[in-house]
Amino acid sequence: MVTTLDSERKSRDSSGIGSGCLPVEIRELVAFCPKCKTLEAICFVDDHLMQNRRFSQRYEKVYHDCGAEEPCRLYRFS
């Protein structure tokens, strides 16, 4: 199943509110580059790509550093 960051948003647990801790959503998705066929697990914190040398995020799209103009396809682990 191909997914986007917006379609993967889940409702947050409100148990951290009031305790001084804000709930943080951490997700790991698999990125597939359509140009060079790279397949790699990447991590997101609240829909923002964690620092990564080979991938970058522009809005809700993720791009590989191989120069592909088409964004990577993102897959969930099942």
| Mean pLDDT score across all residues of the chain | 83
Does any domain span residue 32? yes
Mean pLDDT of 46-70: 94
Does any domain span residue 50? yes
What is each CA distance from 74 to 11, 16, 19, in whole angstroms?
Answer: 20, 29, 34
Does any domain span residue 14? no
Does any domain span residue 44? yes
Rounding to the nearest 10 degrees, give the CA dihedral for residues 58, 62, 64, 69.
-70
Q: What is the DSSP letter of 54?
A: S
Does any domain span residue 16? no
Q: Which domain holds residue 50?
A: 2-9+21-76
Domain count, the chain: 1
pLDDT digits (tens, 9 = 90+) for 32-45: 999 999 999 999 99
Q: Which of 1-5, 10-14, 18-22, 55-59 has the lowest mean pLDDT?
A: 10-14
